[in-house]
């Protein structure tokens, strides 16, 4: 059974930037800072160039940013005629917004306290500890998510996308009066959980929601161009709403602005700001993703062994230091290596590029002999293989058997 992010052919998927109403953040052009460039000509830059030329890889943009300089910067034209989609990278950005809301005093409790959110009253999300939501341990496994279902964003029983249903409607239709599993026990990658977090922040910030987004992305990240969070309102089905809980995690930004946002995150971590402390709390309280297989070859989603605060951590073979990873459908990657002042961003229309050589090796991974020269057809075949969750564990949480992974 395939679960989680699907890695097969997605080249024909439509670019949906303008299909939904959105929270528009900033002006078309904003006050920003210019990057310093020290472009390298080396094996990495040559490989990026080769991968971009071969459109079958899906690669459309690659940036390596290190010690405040862009060392590799290449891209090509693609169906992304506007801002680049984040897909599930946006889940991580919802966590960033949550940290800002806590530091700004909008959320007057810690991540270890229970949420007080009227919209989810009478559902399994009611009175949940915020940390369980942030760590994808809400217990919604039997309704949505990749532990039992086949997709993080679709209701298991009817394949309805939760990202096009306003949260109040979703709660009434699918969650009201339905018991969940014990929170904090199983990792279940669920888009509904992220959307609960986002709309909780919208509820808590009230009239200051747009002000908070402006603070994060315009004032602090200093994005050069307007960025967007989609709403759960499709333009072909309904009118727009200026207020209300219509948040979904889908985020869009210019390719350079993803680097600016990542650089801001790095700055918070390095300077131990309030937001930096929030990020470190997410790292310190990360949980086992409970899969029985991880890979260095197939994307951040397949390599990270732990999850904390909507971020991926502990990439296999790179557990010696905190490396924050974000991953999105069709191969979107953001990586922040705090100890080495290094950021890597990858954007693609399909996940058929050489992830190992473009991401793992630049992070300093020492090849253990398992790598084979990039072969697209072989990689495409392997993309079908999915990580399977495993629940056979001993008293301290170690995997002891996986007889029938769901």
Mean pLDDT of 3-20: 57
**What does the pLDDT look like over 240-254, one tens digit per residue?**
998 999 999 999 999
Nearest to 225 by CA among 30, 35, 31, 81: 30
First to last CA, the chain: 7
* Cβ atoms within 10 Å, residue 212: 19
- The answer, yes or no, to whether residue 27 has pLDDT greater than 60, is yes
- The answer, yes or no, to whether residue 397 has pLDDT greater than 70, is no
Is-contact 111 134, C-beta < 8 A?
yes
Mean pLDDT of 254-280: 98
Tokens representing 233 are 């309102």
- The answer, yes or no, to whether residue 221 has pLDDT greater than 60, is yes
Task: Check residue 292 and give its pLDDT.
Answer: 87
**What does the pLDDT look like over 286-338, one tens digit per residue?**
999 999 899 999 999 999 999 999 999 999 999 999 999 999 999 999 999 99
Task: Check residue 277 and give its pLDDT.
Answer: 98
Domain ranges of the chain: 20-393
Is-contact 272 279, C-beta < 8 A?
no
Q: What is d(CA 324, CA 334) in angstroms, rounded to the nearest whole number? A: 8
The pLDDT-based confidence of 6 (bands split at 50, 70, 90) is: very low
Better-predicted residue by pLDDT, 190 or 374: 190
Which of these ranges, 17-21, 163-167, 325-329, has the smallest mean pLDDT? 17-21
Task: Check residue 254 and give its pLDDT.
Answer: 98
Q: Is residue 369 classed as helix, strand or coil in its secondary structure?
A: coil
Nearest to 181 by CA among 137, 223, 131, 130: 137
Q: What is d(CA 256, CA 107) in angstroms, rounded to the nearest whole number? A: 31
Task: Check residue 373 and give its pLDDT.
Answer: 53
The pLDDT-based confidence of 385 (bands split at 50, 70, 90) is: very low
CA dist list (Å): 367 to 17, 360, 383: 38, 9, 21
CA dist list (Å): 136 to 194, 279, 309, 370: 8, 16, 8, 32
Tokens representing 91 are 């889940």
Mean pLDDT of 361-388: 60
| CATH superfamily entry for domain 20-393 | DD-peptidase/beta-lactamase superfamily (3.40.710.10)
Tokens representing 145 are 């998510």
Q: Parallel, antiparallel, or unpaired for β 36-37 and 69-75? A: parallel
Is-contact 303 289, C-beta < 8 A?
no
Nearest to 229 by CA among 237, 214, 101: 214
Task: Check residue 375 and give its pLDDT.
Answer: 52
Q: Parallel, antiparallel, or unpaired for β 332-337 and 323-328? A: antiparallel
Which of these ranges, 3-7, 227-231, 237-241, has the smallest mean pLDDT? 3-7
The pLDDT-based confidence of 11 (bands split at 50, 70, 90) is: very low
Tokens representing 277 are 């402390």
């Amino acid at each position: 059974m395939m679960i989680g992010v699907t890695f097969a052919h997605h080249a024909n998927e439509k670019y949906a930037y303008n299909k939904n109403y959105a929270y528009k953040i900033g002006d078309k052009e904003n006050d920003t800072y210019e990057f310093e460039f020290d472009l390298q000509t080396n094996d990495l830059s040559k490989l990026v160039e080769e991968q971009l030329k071969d459109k079958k890889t899906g690669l459309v943009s690659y940036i390596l940013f290190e010690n405040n300089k862009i060392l590799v910067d290449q891209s090509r034209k693609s169906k992304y005629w506007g801002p680049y989609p984040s897909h599930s990278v946006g889940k991580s950005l919802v966590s960033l917004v949550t940290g800002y809301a806590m530091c700004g005093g909008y959320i007057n409790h810690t991540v270890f306290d229970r949420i007080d959110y009227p919209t989810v009253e009478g559902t399994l999300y009611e009175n949940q500890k915020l940390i369980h939501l942030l760590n994808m341990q809400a217990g919604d496994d039997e309704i949505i998510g990749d532990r039992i279902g086949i997709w993080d964003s679709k209701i298991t029983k009817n394949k309805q996308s939760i990202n096009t249903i306003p949260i109040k409607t979703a709660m009434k239709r699918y969650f009201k009066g339905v018991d969940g599993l014990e929170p904090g026990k199983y990792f279940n990658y669920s888009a509904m959980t992220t959307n609960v977090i986002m709309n909780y922040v919208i509820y808590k910030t009230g009239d200051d929601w747009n002000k908070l987004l402006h603070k994060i992305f315009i004032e602090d990240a200093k994005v050069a161009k307007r960025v967007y969070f989609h709403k759960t309102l499709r333009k072909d089905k309904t009118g727009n709403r200026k207020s209300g809980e219509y948040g979904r995690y889908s985020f869009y930004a210019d390719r350079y602005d993803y680097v600016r946002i990542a650089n801001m995150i790095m700055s918070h971590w390095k300077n131990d700001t309030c937001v930096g402390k929030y990020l470190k709390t997410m790292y310190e309280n990360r949980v086992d993703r409970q899969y029985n297989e991880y890979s260095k070859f197939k994307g951040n989603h397949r390599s990270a062994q732990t999850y904390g605060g909507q971020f991926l951590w502990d990439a296999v073979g790179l557990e010696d230091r905190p490396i924050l990873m974000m991953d999105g459908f069709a191969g979107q990657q953001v990586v922040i290596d705090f100890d080495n002042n290094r950021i890597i961003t990858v954007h693609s229309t399909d996940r058929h590029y050489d992830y190992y050589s473009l991401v793992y090796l630049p992070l300093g991974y020492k090849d253990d002999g398992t790598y084979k020269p990039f072969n697209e057809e072989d990689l495409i075949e392997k993309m079908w293989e999915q990580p399977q969750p495993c629940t056979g564990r001993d008293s301290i949480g170690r995997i002891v058997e996986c007889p029938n992974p769901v």
